[in-house]
Amino acid sequence: MGQKSPRRFTGWHMTGILVAFFGTVAAVNVTMAGFATSTFGGVVVENSYVASQEFNGWLEDARESDQLGWNVVTTWRPDGRLVLSTSDAPDYLQAEATARHPLGRLPDQALSFYRIDEHTYLSHDPLPEGRWTVRLELTNGSATWRREDDLS
């Protein structure tokens, strides 16, 4: 019975291993970069320097909104319109909102509301289906309440 000699590990074997390894890494990187650029527009704020200068003002506005003690529940109706139900807030508020698509695929939508019942407001226009970040602003004279809601 003849014995087989063990196979030798050559430079071609090492070349094949290196090409397979780095080819796999490159393919995964290209795939992930494609997913990343197709799902995120890359802009969080238009000008980060200006945003950093205004940040403390935004925090103060948020504190003032919290001190008002108003509570608002946002509901999405089947017809696409938004309902704002307020509590611990004065009656007859002016309500406005801006809906932003978080991935930037659809343009921003301005929403205005009208009073349908005591402490209840309904948007004039429907909001298309999908994920939206809604920036609410309710005003009563000089008092302004703001909040962002994520809808999906």
Give domain limits for the chain: 71-151
Phi, psi torsion values for 119, nearest 5 degrees: 65, 20
Sequence-ordered strand ranges (E) for the chain? 71-76, 82-87, 94-100, 109-117, 120-123, 132-140, 143-151
Indicate the pTM of the whole model: 0.63
Domain 71-151 falls under CATH 3.40.630.30: no
Tens-digit pLDDT profile for residues 30-78? 999 998 877 766 667 778 888 888 889 888 888 888 888 888 888 888 8
DSSP, res 95: E
Look at the block and give the residue holding tokens 């608002």. Answer: 72
Residues 6+ apart with CB under 8 A from 146: 61, 62, 65, 135, 136, 137, 138
